[in-house]
Structure 1
Amino acid sequence: MSNQAAQAQPEATTDNLLTMSNVEVVYDKVFLAIKGVSLQVGKGDMVALLGANGAGKSTTLKTISGLLAPERGAVTRGTVEFQGRNILPLGAPARVALGMVHVLEGRRIFEHLTPEDNLLAAFPSRGSRQRFNELKEQVFTYFPRLKERARTKSGYLSGGEQQMLAIGRALMTEPELIMLDEPSLGLAPLLVQEIFAIIREINQQQKVSVLLVEQNASAALEIVRHAYLIENGHVVMDGKAEVLRQNPDVQEFYLGGAGKVDYHNVKHYRRRKRWLA
């Protein structure tokens, strides 16, 4: 893939739900975290943002969801549009109201509340009790374990169950776009497969668009249609998932060793610059 193809900015179309164009983010007015990042997510699409730790993946999601300010980050260049609307002037709650939700890394559930109360906390205050019950049952259909433990304090749930709860809580906002930051973190491989299969089921049944941030490139590329590879704040490659799976550099540095990433090699992959040539 040519450098031009890898870094070409997405063209806005009527089918694009989210368009991020040439965005730069600075922390503390000093540190440039992402540098000209462009990506797009279509309606009903599943897209992955891949890369090593510290590459800029989480910052990209926080730029979209409006969570930069608490970490003293700011967009200094570029645009972010959702449903054709510039959302950079909007705060995080207003972006949720528009139809996007961000599941943060590390799950971040309310451990002192039950799963049912966690779901209630995420449900919009303007909604009816009937609608809450409908959405709650929908979540329990996707994640039956949560129904079994609906009245247990969430801090006593397993790591996998807490991740299920974090995703279920996001669904209570009835989003059009759900952004997931490292949902496989700290989970056993079989549980990762289960959760990713449910994410794909939600996408197919609810037509919810998914932007998935992952270090586990092997698992992510199994369920998404398109993927972007980010390194040192730059998008260095993007394309269809099956194309990236066949790329020799992606195979060596992100899919080698049964899906385990050799981060020492990742830091030095650009010496060959095959995908930038």
Structure 2
Amino acid sequence: MSLLVLNNVEVVYDSVFLAVKGVSLEVPKAGLVALLGANGAGKSTVLKSISGLLAAERGLVTRGQVTFDGEDMRVLDPPARVRRGLVHVLEGRHVFGHLTPEENLIAATSMHPDRAKVKRMVEEMFTHFPRLAERAKAQAGYLSGGEQQMLAIARALMTEPKLILLDEPSLGLAPFLVDEIFDIVRRINAVSGVAILLVEQNAVAALDLVETAYLIDQGRIVMSGTAAALAANPDIQDAYLGGAQKVDYHAVKHYRRRKRWLA
């Protein structure tokens, strides 16, 4: 059964610019799904249409349905969506730099009146993320990029979500940190059953993590299927995975491979 369903969603900015054009996708319960695409393709806009954060950027879902756990999300504001179990980890991490990691985690627990429970949850996050436990009393603004990304994910987990919308977690991180972050995401999904909708430009890492993937290009879903099927597609390989085959540029005056889905 699907936890999240987008059906023919369109998003308009400033009542003029059509940024997302009839996007449909599904995330099953406890599923791992990736939304791939180039910079500016509409990936983050799709996530904001789900979490309700479009209004701050003068965006609006003008058509289609966003259904989460059987409920229409379009009628709910962002805090209500979080209370339903849908949380969005924004691109760029956005931790509270003047607070410690522990204080960042506690800041996400306004829906939990039981302080003893909050304390247990903080300890659980420090178990999941031992690096944060080591830096528990430092200001979050002084953490490394990888540690801040871990903190952003841990803070999202403090809301006890059913689904995490994870936007570009590998952005600006060294490859070994990307592997560590993705291993943590895989473990959280396996242990806690939290579904993940991952937006990522690092297609190699994303397709190694998820079960299903969608490719968005110029605001439209142009391809979908299992991660293995997309990874084997020659157009995906050429555009996002470093090339299905090497091209001898000395042998040709001009080379330009047109993406088949645009033909």
Aligned to 1:240, which of 193, 217, 226?
Answer: 226
Q: Confirm whether residue 112 of structure 1 aligns to residue 109 of structure 2.
A: no
What is the rounded CA distance, in whole Å, between the counterparts of 2:26 and 2:20 in structure 1?
16
1:71 deviation in Å?
0.5
Specify the code of the residue in structure 2 equivalent to 1:206.
S
Q: Confirm whether residue 129 of structure 1 aligns to residue 115 of structure 2.
A: yes
What is the rounded CA distance, in whole Å, between the counterparts of 1:227 and 1:272 in structure 2?
18
Alignment of 1:91-106 (within 5 A): 91-106=77-92
Alignment of 1:160-175 (within 5 A): 160-175=146-161
C-alpha contact (below 8 Å) 2:88/2:156 kept by paired residues: yes
What is the rounded CA distance, in whole Å, between the counterparts of 2:77 and 2:8 in structure 1?
20
Rate the CA distance shift 1:139–1:272 in 2: closer, same or farther, 3 A: closer
Aligned counterpart, 1:20: 6
Aligned counterpart, 1:146: 132
Deviates more, 1:58-67 or 1:120-129: 120-129
Aligned counterpart, 2:209: 223
What is the rounded CA distance, in whole Å, between the counterparts of 2:207 and 2:262 in structure 1?
21
The residue matched to 1:173 in structure 2 has which SS?
coil
Of all paired residues, the percent bearing the same amino acid is: 64
C-alpha contact (below 8 Å) 2:237/2:243 kept by paired residues: no
What is the rounded CA distance, in whole Å, between the counterparts of 1:247 and 1:107 in structure 2?
32
Q: Confirm whether residue 194 of structure 1 aligns to residue 180 of structure 2.
A: yes
**Structure 1 runs, 4 residues or longer, greater than 4 Å off:** none
1:122 deviation in Å?
0.5
What is the rounded CA distance, in whole Å, between the counterparts of 1:84 and 1:214 in structure 2?
26
Aligned counterpart, 1:80: 66
Aligned counterpart, 1:250: 236
Q: Confirm whether residue 55 of structure 1 aligns to residue 41 of structure 2.
A: yes
RMSD: 1.4
Unpaired runs of 5+ in structure 2? 245-255
TM, length-normalised to structure 1: 0.89
CA-to-partner distance for each residue in 1:68-92, whole Å, 9 max, x for gaps? 0011000111000001111101100
What is the number of equivalent residue pairs in this alignment?
A: 252
Aligned counterpart, 2:54: 68
What is the rounded CA distance, in whole Å, between the counterparts of 2:65 and 2:92 in structure 1?
28
Specify the code of the residue in structure 1 equivalent to 2:205.
A
What is the rounded CA distance, in whole Å, between the counterparts of 2:259 and 2:138 in structure 1?
53
Q: Confirm whether residue 179 of structure 1 aligns to residue 173 of structure 2.
A: no
1:134 deviation in Å?
1.6
Rate the CA distance shift 1:119–1:24 in 2: closer, same or farther, 3 A: same
The residue matched to 2:40 in structure 1 has which SS?
coil
Aligned counterpart, 1:206: 192
The residue matched to 2:4 in structure 1 has which SS?
strand
Rate the CA distance shift 1:252–1:167 in 2: closer, same or farther, 3 A: same
Aligned counterpart, 1:8: none
